[in-house]
Structure 1
């Protein structure tokens, strides 16, 4: 007896032990949002969470998408299979869904009214976007819509479209001749369209037997005079706004099923009902899926304001602009850019100066290389800082140009100093001028080759050489010219 009881207890324990893992698997699957096996598209429409077309794929029944394949081409419908709202596009970034709304029509023949359609649309948690407009087409037409915003059902507006056999109907114009339009208020969750005629279209039956009325997304309809007699569309694209639930950000953030997590935040600019998520600045992806908002590399895409692409450094969620060694600033096009430090300019000045400028035996104002150079340039005595071994009768124009660039770089006010790019462009121009005057170029019997060389100089991109930009001049030409002008600079000690 005791043995039977013991065996029964052991059997229960064993059975319980086998069920625990199964329960754990079920719980884990329920936490996957969305499930890995969920459909990601239906026809040409991408289905992204919180929307989904299968169990465990959508946030709530409000976001159910039914993919109908009965007609061959898959067609996504909003809501259960019994619904007739066709989805043409959806976006998690703008929290909008584009649907194909039914067109209302009111047609007549010689006997009078022939056929009409008076569609209505009722939404529970979604709203008709104010990015739509209400349009009516006809020559004997007054059209209006009634709507509801929350509990207020007294919403409505409309317009009148008239024309005759001799009226000038302008394509693209909906100002009242053959076509009219009005704005749509924000927040409607219900709308119904009504069409009426003044004279049963009897006076313009051959030109326009029917009136039409519909909601359409702005920019998705362009009126044509042919629409008066032959308007073939029975549906038009219109936008719906959507949000999660009916709680605001502040109230929803403490809920267990709150969706704005990771690099996703709740959009405080949206006032409800419900809440919306968006990726943080510098991130992109689906803000309703945890971990899906990933870093944007602005440097690779060129979405930055750095002076040069190679000075852009990507950082998590943003980027920063840098300056090469010897330059300072924010590195941006609209900011301070990159301006040469005084130490960098002294190196440029030293390239055309001698031991005189480096001597510390002179007056106080001449002991600083920069000050000595500026004084000499100001007094027109640039010869004082040029090496006597250059054996020059006059200061070459290229040296004067470089000296003027250096003078601007030495200005105390940083805003008056040229940017790194400006210095590089000016030095490139001076270098190109020197190449034109080089004896190899002047004595060349082949003018085409000379032109090609100069063209190559002007077309080359900039690259960094010891922190200062210069053109991609042929290394043999550049080295040869450098060797002809290079002189040792004695120590100033």
Structure 2
């Protein structure tokens, strides 16, 4: 009995130690994400500093970065400061908010049965609409206009038409049942409204509503079934977010570095937001984490990455912000994948021996050719000397004969 109680006590103690370790690890991870003493999650949303959970809690870099975590929802939902704009994701440089879709629906006789325009205004805030959004109109008898005046003066529109449902093509948003137009980077406000050419009277049998919205161009994919989907508006609101750019302050990096509230900390770099002013921070190369927190950017151990950063038979040596490669014993090379790699020493091509042997043979050939050349030249010189001697002798003989003739004539 005592033995069983001992085992139970031991198991309980182990469980408590593991649970405590997990709790400590969780708190440590939260400290890296959020400001010390502040919450890191609102429901399913992770909230990294410079954002902070709670209005006026000093958990963010400024009031517009406060996150209103509404716990009346299950799970809780996060909203931008005092606005009613729900946040679904926060990353370095962008956040994504739940969409707002303008709609206009008609009866068979052309009377408007439902209508709602849409407008969002970020004037005076650190937010603007990213140019990765597109203004989209869905419908077969619809036109919509988008107008913005803050950050950028922008006016544009889209016309979407079709005569019958067979004209529609999945994935194509080129004006037949679906139309898209880009927006400029830095736009801080927009309003949109829908209109119709014939109040859907000619297409009402398969298309009773028109829709217009701004949303992430990589998320929305047009489908012909959108026309028969009575839940299209709500589905788009839930599934197609609006991408929002954000920046710290309105100073450039060079200006901000001189101020006491410069936000980029250890092992980080400053990046100018070149449209409306302000800046953002990124961890330096070889580091990861939160650049806005002290010791938030930690070294990446590239040696533990998959795929392995060094060549086969190479040894990875991690260092702060970087790494180096070398070769195992018995191998030589630089250990790099994009370099000479690592080659077994007993299977290496004998470069030095080959070079010495090749040089020796080459030098021997040069010497032999030189000797042959001079030998030939000496032979030619000997032949020339012999020829000259023969000419001289012949000349002397001829001169003696001539002299004899002259003497005989004188006698």
Structure-2-length-normalised TM-score: 0.71
CA–CA distance in 1 between the matches of 2:37 and 2:208?
51
Residues 186-225 of structure 1 mapped to structure 2, 5 A cutoff: 186-225=185-224
| CA displacement at 1:86 relative to structure 2 | 0.7
CA–CA distance in 2 between the matches of 1:411 and 1:118?
81
CA–CA distance in 1 between the matches of 2:78 and 2:42?
6
Q: Which residue of 1 aligns with 2:97?
A: 99
Residues 422-433 of structure 1 mapped to structure 2, 5 A cutoff: none
CA–CA distance in 2 between the matches of 1:66 and 1:256?
27
The DSSP-based 3-state class of the residue aligned with 2:75 is coil
CA contact (8 A) 1:51 1:63 kept: yes
Q: Which residue of 1 aligns with 2:255?
A: 251
Q: Which residue of 2 aligns with 1:137?
A: 138
The DSSP-based 3-state class of the residue aligned with 1:97 is strand
The DSSP-based 3-state class of the residue aligned with 1:220 is coil
Q: Which residue of 1 aligns with 2:366?
A: none
User: CA offsets per residue over residues 115-173 of structure 1, 9 Å max, x none?
Assistant: 211110111221100111111100001122111352x43x0222211112253211111
CA–CA distance in 2 between the matches of 1:269 and 1:325?
49
- Picking from 66, 75, 78, the partner of 2:77 is 75
Q: Which residue of 1 aligns with 2:16?
A: none
| CA displacement at 1:324 relative to structure 2 | 3.4
The DSSP-based 3-state class of the residue aligned with 1:177 is coil
Q: Which residue of 1 aligns with 2:64?
A: 62
Q: Which residue of 2 aligns with 1:118?
A: 117
CA–CA distance in 1 between the matches of 2:313 and 2:245?
39
CA–CA distance in 2 between the matches of 1:247 and 1:268?
9
CA contact (8 A) 2:313 2:335 kept: no
| CA displacement at 1:270 relative to structure 2 | 4.9
| CA displacement at 1:273 relative to structure 2 | 1.4
Q: Which residue of 1 aligns with 2:389?
A: none
The DSSP-based 3-state class of the residue aligned with 1:101 is coil
| CA displacement at 1:408 relative to structure 2 | 6.6
| CA displacement at 1:231 relative to structure 2 | 4.8
The DSSP-based 3-state class of the residue aligned with 1:98 is strand
User: CA offsets per residue over residues 453-488 of structure 1, 9 Å max, x none?
Assistant: xxxxxxxxxxxxxxxxxxxxxxxxxxxxxxxxxxxx
CA–CA distance in 2 between the matches of 1:330 and 1:200?
72
Q: Which residue of 1 aligns with 2:84?
A: 84
Q: Which residue of 1 aligns with 2:41?
A: 41
The DSSP-based 3-state class of the residue aligned with 1:56 is coil
Residues 59-458 of structure 1 mapped to structure 2, 5 A cutoff: 59-80=61-82, 83-92=83-92, 95-109=93-107, 110-123=109-122, 124-150=125-151, 152-153=152-153, 155-165=154-164, 167-232=166-231, 233-234=233-234, 235=237, 236-268=240-272, 270=274, 272-302=276-306, 305-308=309-312, 310-325=314-329, 327-339=331-343, 344=345, 348=346, 406-407=349-350, 411-412=354-355
CA–CA distance in 1 between the matches of 2:274 and 2:323?
28
The DSSP-based 3-state class of the residue aligned with 2:149 is strand
CA–CA distance in 1 between the matches of 2:34 and 2:169?
50
CA–CA distance in 2 between the matches of 1:285 and 1:33?
8
Unpaired runs of at least 5, structure 2:
1-31, 357-411
The DSSP-based 3-state class of the residue aligned with 2:99 is strand
CA contact (8 A) 1:210 1:229 kept: no
272 and 278 in structure 1: CA distance in 2 versus 1, 3 angstrom threshold: farther
CA contact (8 A) 1:33 1:57 kept: no
CA contact (8 A) 1:246 1:273 kept: yes
Q: Alignment RMSD, CA only? A: 2.4
The DSSP-based 3-state class of the residue aligned with 1:186 is coil
| CA displacement at 1:286 relative to structure 2 | 0.7
| CA displacement at 1:43 relative to structure 2 | 1.7
More deviation in 263-272 or 161-170?
263-272
The DSSP-based 3-state class of the residue aligned with 1:167 is helix
CA contact (8 A) 2:186 2:275 kept: no
CA–CA distance in 1 between the matches of 2:298 and 2:199?
59
CA contact (8 A) 1:139 1:228 kept: no
CA contact (8 A) 1:125 1:189 kept: no
216 and 231 in structure 1: CA distance in 2 versus 1, 3 angstrom threshold: farther
The DSSP-based 3-state class of the residue aligned with 1:204 is coil
CA–CA distance in 1 between the matches of 2:189 and 2:85?
13
| CA displacement at 1:245 relative to structure 2 | 0.6
CA–CA distance in 1 between the matches of 2:271 and 2:354?
48
CA contact (8 A) 2:71 2:77 kept: yes
75 and 166 in structure 1: CA distance in 2 versus 1, 3 angstrom threshold: closer
72 and 326 in structure 1: CA distance in 2 versus 1, 3 angstrom threshold: closer
CA–CA distance in 1 between the matches of 2:313 and 2:41?
37
CA–CA distance in 2 between the matches of 1:411 and 1:182?
67
| CA displacement at 1:309 relative to structure 2 | 6.8
CA contact (8 A) 2:310 2:335 kept: yes
CA contact (8 A) 1:305 1:334 kept: no
271 and 114 in structure 1: CA distance in 2 versus 1, 3 angstrom threshold: closer
